[in-house]
Amino acid sequence: MTDIANKTNTQSLETLKDAREGDDGKVADTWRHRSRSGNVFELSDKNGKEHVTLQHRSGSLIQMQPDGSVRLVSSAGKMGIEINGEGYLTVTGLYNVVVNGDAGFRISGNADWQVDGDMKVTVNGTYSIAAKNMTTTIAEKYELTADNMSYQSADNAIFTAGSKMYVGSTGSAKLYSGDTLTIVGDTKIDMNP
């Protein structure tokens, strides 16, 4: 599986620099308007530095860069996007989301995730899932590996195999029932084959 999270996207927000760097701002190449409070609207036609920049006096800005990339900066530390209707995000190519802190997703309705390729989830801490009901369907193979494993059901527990089932231990093993223990074999039962 390709480790997408560790790939470097050269067009990501982390690598987009201010297009005004190296632009001398000559009048012949640049039109700039600054309001009384310090807000700036700038259009540059300088070769290789063409850009459109709208900057708030606090430093927050929207900038369309020479290659068509868009740089959006919130200098105050907060950013909100509100869509009063349907919305979507379409990305053609590699897309990374990097959060240097905590993150949360809250969905008031249903959610559907579809991955047409492989999917990998890595958690360096504790991974917890809480659900009212849970159904897992695996088309081919299911493997679960852990140093220690525990299964607990407050009511009934059923393990069913359509063909063969094997439960084994390289060390000691114990089968316990607080009431009646029943072992049934339709053909035979081998206690020590």
Report pLDDT digits (tens) over 69-79.
898 888 877 88
Query: Does a structural domain hold residue 172?
Result: no
Domains: count for the chain = 1
If you average pLDDT over residues 148-177, what whole number do you get?
Answer: 88
Asked if 70 and 62 touch (Cβ cutoff 8 Å), the reply is yes
Task: Tell me the pLDDT tens digit for each residue of 31-61.
Answer: 889 999 999 999 999 888 899 999 999 989 9
Rounded Cα distance, 156 and 6, in Å: 43
Which is more confidently placed, 117 or 185? 117
Find the CATH number of the domain harbouring 37.
Answer: 3.10.450.190
Is residue 50 assigned to a domain?
yes
What is the pTM assigned to this prediction? Answer: 0.63
181 lies in a domain?
no
Structural domain including 61 reads 10-73
- In this prediction, residue 143 carries a pLDDT of 92
Q: Answer yes or no: is 95 within a domain.
A: no
Q: Which residues on adjacent β-strands are paired with residue 61?
A: 55, 73
Nearest to residue 55, comparing CAs of 40, 38, 42? 40
- What CA–CA distance (Å, rounded) separates 19 from 69? 10
Is residue 24 included in any domain, yes or no? yes
Average pLDDT over residues 150-179: 88
- The Cβ of residue 13 has, within 10 Å, a number of other Cβ atoms equal to 14
